[in-house]
Structure 1
Amino acid sequence: MSGTLYGIGLGPGDPELMTLKAHRLIASAKVVAYPAPDTGESFARSIAAGTIPHTAREIPIVVPMRVDRFPAQEIYDKASDEIAAVLATGEDVVTLCEGDPFFYGSFMYLFDRLSDRFAIEIVPGVTSLTACAAQLQRPLTSRNDVLTVIPGPLPDTEIEQKIAEAQAVAIMKVGRHLSRLRALLGRMGLLERAGYVERASLAEQKVHRLIDLEAETAPYFSMILIYKGDEAWTLPPSFSS
């Protein structure tokens, strides 16, 4: 019998936002894998650090933190081989994923390589979308509104078209594109409707109306949420963070 590979969604960062199932599986894990940068600590591991057994074998999947790091095929090939070797012995492997494994999650690359050979169970996690909406204190979408999720690195023309066709918009991976995105939303007359959240649920979280934000760049874990549907939802006039 082969072991089972678990893709565990950890949520946006606050360990208390892990599900009970995620906590149970991590706490009983004998082998734990997780993505890690080539410098600094793994964000995924830091979320679950208080739950990982001290006896667990750890498999860091080191992904260079570069703009052009994906697709890092050889990295996931190597990680899949190492994880497969463990699964083949009958041992389960718990893989940690910040957010949700199948929502822009790197676990999808392991799933693609291993799902035809081993049993895999996905444990969904609280996504950054809902975490950011909670911190902005404005509903994400409603009724028949179309919610569109847009990667920030896309060209302005594509982003503008997608925003025009939606009633609710989430722009992810803002990072170094913040100034360009803010200028675009200004031209579209949407700054008053746009909220900004970085590092949602963490101690260093920041929440602003986009029009009030003075920064020129943002961290990778940042998001812009816009609502332009029929509901009379507005952002609070100010935020404490």
Structure 2
Amino acid sequence: MIGTLHLVGVGPGDPELLTLKAVRLLGAVPVIAYPTTGEDAALALEIATPHLNAAAERLPVAIPMAVERGPAQAAYDGAATAILVHLRAGRDVAWLCEGDPLFYGSAMYLVARVGPHAPVEIVPGITSLTAAAAVAGRPLAARNEMLKVLPAPLDDATLRTELAATPAAAIIKVGRHFDRIRMLLAETGHADGAVVVEHATTPRQRITRLADFAHDERPYFSTILCYRGTEAWGETAGAGA
């Protein structure tokens, strides 16, 4: 009997924010696979470790952090091959994914590679976006307002156009793009209602108004929540952070 690949969202950082289903599966599966990088090592594994089957075999997969897509795609090819060896032997595998597997997650690359050959089950998780809103204590949007999720690596023209058409936005993948994003938010009128959330739900968590960031500071693992709407909560967004 062929095993099942479980793509498990482990949430934004706090080990207590996994779902009951995720905890049950991780405590039972015989093989735990997870991505590793040279920057944050294996964050998904770090988050999930308190809930793992202690006897499970661990299968780390090195994912190159390069702009070119080729090396990472090759890594996922290798991951799928290694995972399928276990599945064909009847062993279930859990792939750990930060946040939610299908919200800018690595799991999407395994669905296409493993799905045609073995059962795949997706266990959703809490995203960094909703975690950031929760710890900042502010809505993402209100009533009939639009909310746009915008990756910071997009070019200036695209970001400027998208921001101009929305009262509320969440900027993700900020990293080295912070200075450029700050300037764009000032142009579009979103800066005054913007808050930067770093390492949400972890011991390193920090919440700062965008306006209070020193010009030589560069938050890396962060999300920027910004608002230019008319709801009353927007007037005090990020207060007391």
Tell me if TM exceeds 0.5: yes
Shift of 1:55: 1.2
In structure 2, what is the equivalent of residue 24 of structure 1? 24
Aligned-partner Cα distance in 2 for 1:92–1:41: 24
- Give SS of 1:72's match: helix
- Give SS of 2:6's match: strand
Bigger CA drift: 75-84 or 226-235?
226-235
Shift of 1:198: 0.9
In structure 1, what is the equivalent of residue 49 of structure 2? 49
* 1:117 alignment partner AA: H
In structure 2, what is the equivalent of residue 223 of structure 1? 223
- Give SS of 1:233's match: helix
* 1:89 alignment partner AA: A
Shift of 1:39: 6.1
Aligned-partner Cα distance in 1 for 2:180–2:25: 42
Aligned-partner Cα distance in 2 for 1:229–1:100: 28
CA contact (8 A) 1:28 1:53 kept: yes
In structure 1, what is the equivalent of residue 11 of structure 2? 11
TM-score by length of 2: 0.94
* 1:6 alignment partner AA: H
CA contact (8 A) 1:196 1:224 kept: yes
- Give SS of 2:171's match: strand
* 1:190 alignment partner AA: H
In structure 2, what is the equivalent of residue 65 of structure 1? 65
CA contact (8 A) 1:133 1:139 kept: yes
CA contact (8 A) 1:151 1:171 kept: yes
Structure 2: tracts of 5 or more residues without a match: none
Aligned-partner Cα distance in 2 for 1:141–1:39: 32
In structure 1, what is the equivalent of residue 188 of structure 2? 188
In structure 2, what is the equivalent of residue 110 of structure 1? 110
TM-score by length of 1: 0.94
Structure 1: tracts of 5 or more residues without a match: none
CA-to-partner distance for each residue in 1:3-32, whole Å, 9 max, x for gaps? 110000011000011111111100112100
In structure 2, what is the equivalent of residue 87 of structure 1? 87
CA-to-partner distance for each residue in 1:203-234, whole Å, 9 max, x for gaps? 00110111111153221x21111122332223
More helix by share: 2
Aligned-partner Cα distance in 2 for 1:113–1:156: 34
Aligned-partner Cα distance in 2 for 1:79–1:211: 43
Identical amino acids, percent of aligned pairs? 47
- Give SS of 2:85's match: helix
Q: 5 Å matches for 1:131-170?
A: 131-170=131-170
In structure 1, what is the equivalent of residue 240 of structure 2? 238
The yes-or-no answer on 1:209 pairing with 2:209 is yes
CA RMSD of the aligned region, Å? Answer: 1.6
Shift of 1:51: 1.6
